[in-house]
Amino acid sequence: MAPNPSASARQPLKILMLHGYTQSGPLFHAKSRALVKHIQKAFPLHEVSAIYPTGPLRLKPSDIPGYEPSEGGEPEDEIEAYGWFRRSNTANPPLYQGLEDGLAAVAKVLSEEGPFDGVIGFSQGAAMVGMVAGLLESERKEAFAKFEKDESEGAPGIPFPASFAGSGFQHPPFKFAIAYSGFRSPGARYRGFYESPPVQTPVLHVLGSLDAVVEESRSRALIEACAGEPEKDGLVVWHPGGHFLPSQRPYLDAAVRFIREQLEKSSGGKKPDEEEDVNDMDVPF
């Protein structure tokens, strides 16, 4: 029997992992462990690595949904909770405060630790998935320039993010993206991420039918911002739970199957790895 390829001989498969609001890189690592292990097992000829940056906005207890201040009014303790941006509802349409910092943090990781084959995000991190995937596409600068001059929807679009525009920044488009409980940025000012053209990167959307945190309409807005017909193409997967990453086997298999299909397409139809043993998979026969 031939020996297993050493790690140095394996082709890298690098995935950027973007956590949700109030989480951190280490916390998302713990919560996505089953998913990453399943991917590693499914691609034995690849050196699979998952990189978990932490968002730049450190949150206070009052930033956490449902927070109630104590009667004594003591100073708030620092907590290990972070975000990529804060949503301000005082603006109309809503404004993402600190988004430039969140995008700059991602751009830094892409530059220093890339190139990445794909990206996986949860909740606010999945919203970042949609934005960052679009920013790496070839026609996105023109889209931002178009909407920056357009006030027909009540607000002009934001300019193309400076952290992705510098001459020193280079990163190819992602081969795949997976958005767990994702959503589209609201209102006209963020149209550049999603329109003229729609997001071209293949995105798998995984949603919980009992998710009480992200409204279905917001998730559907992100689905509709993606090219083609994602639902008809099988790129929308529902699980019977709430606001979390499902760890049951069918949903892990769905992610692996999607990644395998996209890597095969990007390599011109060549299978990226040996299929895992059929006895290890949930197959309906």
pLDDT digits (tens, 9 = 90+) for 48-60: 999 999 999 999 8
Q: Please tell me which residue in 211, 219, 239, 266 is annotated as part of the active site.
A: 211
Residue 171 confidence class, pLDDT cut points 50, 70, 90: very high
Q: Please tell me which residue in 123, 181, 185, 266 is annotated as part of the active site.
A: 123
Question: 63 catalytic, yes or no?
Answer: no
Domain covering 9-64+77-280, topology: Rossmann fold (3.40.50)
Question: 211 catalytic, yes or no?
Answer: yes
Structure tokens belonging to residue 254: 């769905």
pLDDT digits (tens, 9 = 90+) for 35-92: 999 999 999 999 999 999 999 999 988 888 776 766 655 556 678 999 999 998 788 8
Domain-wise residue ranges, the chain: 9-64+77-280
DSSP string, 162-206: GGGTSTT---PPPSEEEEES--PPPSGGGGGGTSSSPB-S-EEEE
**pTM above threshold 0.85:** yes
Phi, psi of 177 (to 5 degrees): -145, 140
Alpha carbon 105 to its chain's center: 14
Q: Please tell me which residue in 29, 63, 101, 243 is annotated as part of the active site.
A: 243
Q: How far apart are CA 227 and CA 266, in angstroms?
A: 17
